[in-house]
Structure 1
Amino acid sequence: MSQFYVNKLENIDWKFAVAAASSDVDQIGQTFLQMKMTIDGKDIFFELSLVQFFAFLSEMEKIKSHLDSYS
Structure 2
Amino acid sequence: MSWIDYPQNRPTISRTYLVSIQRPYVGGNFTFKYVAYYNVNTNNWHKCDGFDDDSIKEIITHRVVGWIDVATYLV
Q: Radius of gyration: which is bigger? A: 1
Bigger RCO of structures 1 and 2 (CA < 8 A, at least 6 apart): 2
TM-score normalised by L of structure 2: 0.26
Tell me which protein shows more strand as a share of its residues. Answer: 2
